[in-house]
Amino acid sequence: MNNLLKGVNLYLIGMMGVGKTTVGRLLAHQLGYGFIDTDDVIVKAAGKSINEIFTEEGEAAFRQLESDVLGQVCAYTKLTIATGGGIVLRQENWGYLRHGLIVWLDAPVQVLLKRLAEDETRPLLQDSDPEDKLRSLLQQRQPLYSQADLHITITDNQTPEEIATRILEAIPSVLKNQNQN
């Protein structure tokens, strides 16, 4: 697989809670790739949490930091990159994502809700109705996520290991399609 990918980066996109960070780490390990999480890089660079960035500087400032980080990491190869759920929102980010293979992890809102129930680190979910919020974010973003090279549908009972294996198994078909273009 490593030979087939020829160092091309893998970008994981999808809604918050879908498992980009968890699965991305496993994929990197299996491919012998480095692992980067854009949210983690932003937190380290800013010296504050994502909640603090949203509260003190606003979402637009966070999105700018996110684009800056993505623009920098796409210069490297042999990376699996877990992105933030909203990375698809900015047109300029697609220019960076297209440097690599884009994998959309897609799970039903009920699965996301269950995973994020106790989690207070996602500012956009600090809402009186998190389920409704997730539904409207997904509705807004679905057409953007669907521009990925690979669409992986996730059900409730699949382990991160199983999902990583499914992605690895699906990659050759996408590379073949890309070579034909």
Ligand X SMILES: Nc1ncnc2c1ncn2[C@@H]1O[C@H](COP(=O)(O)OP(=O)(O)OP(=O)(O)O)[C@@H](O)[C@H]1O
Q: What are phi and psi of 129, to 5 degrees?
A: -130, 80
Contact between 50 and ligand SKM per CB under 6 A = yes
Cβ contacts of residue 82 below 8 Å, gap of 6+? 12, 20, 21, 23, 24, 25, 35, 36, 37, 38, 39
Which of positions 99-138 make contact with ligand SKM (CB under 6 A)?
122-124
Choose the binding region for ligand X from 64-72, 82-90, 140-148, 165-173 (rule: CB under 6 A): 82-90
| Smallest distance, Mg ion to C-beta of residue 16, A | 7
Is residue 31 within 8 A of residue 80, CB to CB? The reply is yes
- 85 class by beta-carbon count within 10 Å (0-12 exposed, 13-18 middle, 19+ buried): buried
Which of positions 36-75 make contact with ligand X (CB under 6 A)?
39
**How many Cβ atoms are within 10 Å of 129's Cβ, its own excluded?**
9
| Smallest distance, ligand X to C-beta of residue 89, A | 13
Would you tell me which residues interact with Mg ion (CB under 5 A)? Answer: 20-21
DSSP state of 101: E
Measured from the CB atom, the residue of 35 and 96 that comes closer to Mg ion is: 35
Measured from the CB atom, the residue of 8 and 124 that comes closer to ligand X is: 124
Q: What does the binding site for ligand X look like in residue numbers (CB under 6 A)?
A: 16-22, 39, 82, 84-85, 115, 122, 158-160, 163
